[in-house]
Amino acid sequence: MLPKIMKTGGLALAGSLLLLPALALAANGGPEAAAATAAATGEYAWWFWPLILFIITFVMGIFAVLGGVGGGVLFVPIIGSFSFFPFHMDFVRGAGLLVALSGALAAGPGLLRSGMANLRLAIPVALVASTCAILGAKLGLGMPEYLTKGLLGIVIMFIVVVMVTAKKSEVPDVPKSDALSSSMRIFGVFTDQSSGQEIDWKIHRTPLGLFLFIFIGLIAGMFGLGAGWANVPVLNLVMGAPIKISVATSKFLLSITDTSAAWTYFTNGCIIPMMVVPSVIGIMLGSFIGVRLLKVTKPVVVRWVVIAILLFAGIKSLMAGWSAYQEKNMAADEPQHHSEVIEQIQPAAASPVHPAADMIG
Amino acid sequence: MAEANATTATKEQVLYGNILDIGMKIGMVILFVFFALYVFGIMKPAIPVQDLDQYYSMPAHEYLQAITANYDAIEETPDQWNWLSLVSHGDYLNLIGIAFLAAVTIFCYIAIVPTLIKEGDKLYAGLSILEVLILLLAASGLVSGGH
């Protein structure tokens, strides 16, 4: 009874989510009103950016599913690197983590109950990755923006290389499980319906795998990226878990790694609901559509499109980092410049709190 | 993935999955309802929505300083858990949904510990407790960003 209610509730929620942006847009007069406001004030209407984020993340959700990547790995480089978007990297990373977390939370229950994600494999790995994600988030929040963007560019290009070159093994050959995984009883059985084959699996090189998750956690926390691109090769190629178990466990793992990093960004004030909620809604709706489009599109072609987008975003991020570095040096040469900017911002921000009804008027 | 039948979902794994499922759905409903209250102006925000775009490009610590200085409703810098005093405002109310979603994993881990202990799996019970402590450390706000 309860699962039925939850399922119906989930469908009702998805339907309602679909209506929300449209209602918000209608309530505020549509794109013409945004353009009129922008023309009148020289700035966009308040709902312009949440709406843009919703649209962009909706498209991202579709591409992420078709390209076989997580939403977080697209969100941060695209929203953080293109100068069109006004958002500081602190908020982009906070939102990116919550986008990745939402996707992982949504997928987790099915993957766990079906047994495709393996909790015994995930728990030790998640402990290492989530601990290091906190450290990564702390380091990332302490870094100047030019360094964050520059390093993000390098990481994104590395992800592209991994996506292009990493092979996958359906069922890797693991002659003997290592002592650590044996003592932790990390093994399992699943039946692959496509082949009808019952597969016993076990893992090896567990200490090396756990060591690599130190870096995965650090990168996830530092840049607010979901780390599925790194989880899967380590679980599959290094530790020897079958590809289906690796992909499912990786997706579930994100719900733990990203939780620890997301909390760190959250408690440091890096969460703006007007950015986060439309992005989460957009990516989830896009993912629903993406899953349906999988049947009629060629994922290989889309995957190359995603790789090209990531490569472009990586280059943009590097360039943005370099520009920010030059600006910082120029600002250092003219010490009064920064204080002038702050003085210009502060009075403008100090407008009175408007009545709630004014927001949608 | 759906085409594969698993035969290895343990009792604690199914329990974890069930709690994750319920928690995620409750969290999404809260997120959606509270955002609707905010975005449709039903609940007054602490920071007027018209002002938000002035803060998007600031680093988080400057943003926190600026909003604390600029709005009467915000008496204390709303980082760590200080935002709880502002949940009567539409914008900060939304943080409840976000915090709930970020807390679901902690609930799941806490729920499986008794099952693991009952089955004599002390190692995994210990690892689960350790994970809860790590996540609580992150959630406590004791880990500052170092700006």
Q: What is residue A234's predicted lDDT score, i.e. its pLDDT? A: 92
A264 → chain B, closest CA residue: B138
Whole-structure pTM value = 0.82
Q: Per-residue pLDDT tens for A88-102?
A: 999 999 999 999 999
pLDDT at B42: 94
B98 pLDDT exceeds 80? yes
Residue B3, pLDDT above cutoff 60 = no
Q: Which chain A residues have a beta carbon less than 8 Å from that of B145?
A: 137-138, 141-142, 264, 268, 270
DSSP assignment of A123-152: HHHHHHHHHHHHHHHHHHHHS-HHHHHHHH
Side-chain half-sphere CA neighbours of A52 within 13 A: 13
The residue behind tokens 């995965």 is A216
The pLDDT value recorded for residue A343 is: 46
Amino acid at site A213: F
| DSSP labels, A235-298 | IIIIS---HHHHHHHHHHHHHHHHHHHHHHHHHTT---HHHHHHHHHHHHHHHHHHHHHTTTS-
Which residues on chain B are in Cβ contact (under 8 Å) with A358?
41, 48
pLDDT at A352 exceeding the cut of 70: no
Residues of B in Cβ contact (< 8 Å) with A272: 52, 55-56
* Residue of B13, B64, B104 with shortest CB distance to A105: B104
Q: What is the ipTM of this complex?
A: 0.91
For the record, the structure tokens of A14 come out as 């998805």
Yes or no, beta carbons of A44 and B53 under 8 Å apart: yes
A257-302 pLDDT per residue, tens: 999 999 999 999 999 999 999 999 998 888 888 878 877 777 677 7
Neighbours of A255 (CB within 10 A): 30
Element spanning B6, H or E: strand B4-6
Q: Are the beta carbons of B124 and B57 closer than 8 angstroms?
A: no
For chain B, say whether A262 makes contact (Cβ under 8 Å): yes
Average pLDDT over residues B112-126: 95
Residues 84-123 of chain B with CB under 8 A from chain A are 90-91, 94-95, 97-99, 101-102, 104-106, 112, 123
> Which 8-state DSSP code applies to residue B121?
-
Q: Measured between beta carbons, which residues in chain B are less than 8 angstroms from residue A112?
A: 9, 13-14, 16-17, 20
Contacting A residues, span 202-241, partner chain B, CB-CB under 8 Å: none
- Angle between helix axes A71-81 and A299-333 (nearest 10 degrees) is 40
Choice between A273 and A326, residue whose per-residue pLDDT is larger: A273
Residue in chain B closest to A5 (alpha carbons) equals: B22
pLDDT single digits (tens) A71-126: 888 899 889 888 889 999 999 999 999 999 998 898 889 889 888 899 999 999 99
Residue contact B91–A273, C-beta within 8 A = yes
A50 to chain B, closest Cα gap in Å: 10
Contacts of B125 (CB under 8 A, 6+ apart): B113, B116, B117
pLDDT, position A244:
86
